[in-house]
Amino acid sequence: MLRDSFGRVATDLRVSLTDKCNLRCTYCMPPEGLDWLPNAQLLTADEIVRLVTIGVERLGVTEVRYTGGEPLLRRELVDIVSRTTALTPKPQVSLTTNGIGLARLAESLAEAGLDRVNVSLDTLDPETFKRLAHRDRHADVIAGLAAADGAGLRPVKVNAVLMRGVNDHEAASLLRWCLDQGYELRFIEQMPLDAQHGWSREGMVTADEILDLLSASFDLTADDLEDRGSAPAERFLVDGGPARVGVIGSVTRPFCGACDRVRLTADGQVRNCLFATEESDLKTAMRAGASDEELAERWIAAVARKRAGHGIDDPSFLQPSRPMSAIGG
């Protein structure tokens, strides 16, 4: 098992399939993009499936989420998903995506056994989308969401990051729209993970503010506080339920004590925390001929070193050198 020194067990594996993205969301990367990893450094599909198999079959991973960068840009995605869902015991397999291209791929992904998707959508306004993501692709995201729903990849979850003065006035309308479509909306506090290092505590729209913005239009009551478990989102019943909204207060309401996540970057590094400043290199070991057992041992050792918390509030906090797009969100 992937147990750390505080007794937490990692069962939820987030795998970045590529660091590349076709959007340039301002809280993530600059408009000109980044220096992408050279192809030779990316894990191949076989290498990804080998490591995921070790995670599931030897290390107790029960959930696998493919992310990026933008995972739909990875040509072998459907193949990787179908090989993952064929593992024993079968893990829950989901995808975090910006939705561009999902209209084309949703059916094949569902046939490959994908359980669910989280689609990122920060605004209902195509002009705001262009300003925020530096690409004119709002309609593609909306079509991707509808296709995911049509393919049965439910519950379709929508991730939204609010930025002050850009889209924070849309909190209630985003929720109304998601309720109307039958999607489950989760707001994520903006985290210090942008490549430009432009995050500031003052600029962040906090969980408290998000709840205030929503409460002006909806009656929210805390839901499932007792069985929240390791879920990052605090969930609230909207107008008495059954519809819900989630708020992920990673910065102001950290949930590190219940964290069950471990990450694998597109270049084969294990990260025991989104904010870790150290990584453990499985790719080099694998390419040098390490056995599955040796790789599992390295992975166990990497998780054992996990710190108690992300420490954003600590004066000694250092933003990780890799941005969110390279780590895998």
Give residues in contact with ligand SAM (CB under 6 A).
21, 27-28, 67-68, 70, 96-98, 120, 159, 161, 188, 190-191, 193-194, 324-325, 329
* 78/52 Cα distance (integer angstroms): 15
The reply, when asked if residue 263 is annotated as ligand binding, is yes
Q: How near is the Cβ of 159 to ligand SAM at its closest, in Å?
A: 4
The reply, when asked if residue 120 is annotated as ligand binding, is yes
Q: How near is the Cβ of 247 to ligand SAM at its closest, in Å?
A: 12
271 with 263: CB under 8 angstroms?
Answer: yes
Comparison of 91 and 144: residue with beta carbon closer to ligand SAM = 144
The reply, when asked if residue 96 is annotated as ligand binding, is yes
Q: What residues does 92 pair with on adjacent strands?
A: 63
Comparison of 161 and 247: residue with beta carbon closer to ligand SAM = 161
Q: What are phi and psi of 236, to 5 degrees?
A: -130, 135
Eight-class DSSP state of 41: G
The reply, when asked if residue 262 is annotated as ligand binding, is yes
Return all residues near 179 (Cβ < 8 A) that are at least 6 apart.
185, 238, 243
Comparison of 11 and 123: residue with beta carbon closer to ligand SAM = 123
**What is the phi-psi region of residue 72: left when phi exceeds 0, alpha when psi lies from -120 to 50, beta otherwise?**
alpha
Place of tokens 């939705």: 99
Amino acid at 90: K
- Find the residue with minimal CB distance to ligand SAM: 329
User: Coil, strand, or helix at residue 267?
Assistant: coil
Eight-class DSSP state of 169: G
68 with 325: CB under 8 angstroms?
Answer: yes
Report the Cα 108 to chain-centroid distance in Å: 21
Q: How near is the Cβ of 59 to ligand SAM at its closest, in Å?
A: 24
The reply, when asked if residue 18 is annotated as ligand binding, is no
105 with 148: CB under 8 angstroms?
Answer: no
Q: How near is the Cβ of 109 to ligand SAM at its closest, in Å?
A: 14
The reply, when asked if residue 191 is annotated as ligand binding, is yes
The reply, when asked if residue 14 is annotated as ligand binding, is yes
* 82/80 Cα distance (integer angstroms): 6
Comparison of 10 and 121: residue with beta carbon closer to ligand SAM = 121
Check whether the bond before 192 is cis (ω within 30° of 0).
Answer: no
Comparison of 59 and 114: residue with beta carbon closer to ligand SAM = 114
Comparison of 68 and 249: residue with beta carbon closer to ligand SAM = 68
Containing 118, the helix (H) or strand (E) segment is: strand 116-120
Residue among 105, 22, 3, 114 at smallest CA distance from 66: 114
Comparison of 67 and 280: residue with beta carbon closer to ligand SAM = 67
Q: How near is the Cβ of 289 to ligand SAM at its closest, in Å?
A: 32
Q: How near is the Cβ of 174 to ligand SAM at its closest, in Å?
A: 13
* 122/159 Cα distance (integer angstroms): 7
Q: How near is the Cβ of 149 to ligand SAM at its closest, in Å?
A: 17
Binding residue numbers for S-adenosyl-L-methionine:
27, 69, 120, 191
Binding residue numbers for GTP:
14, 65, 96, 157, 261-263
Binding residue numbers:
14, 21, 25, 27-28, 65, 69, 96, 120, 157, 191, 256, 259, 261-263, 273
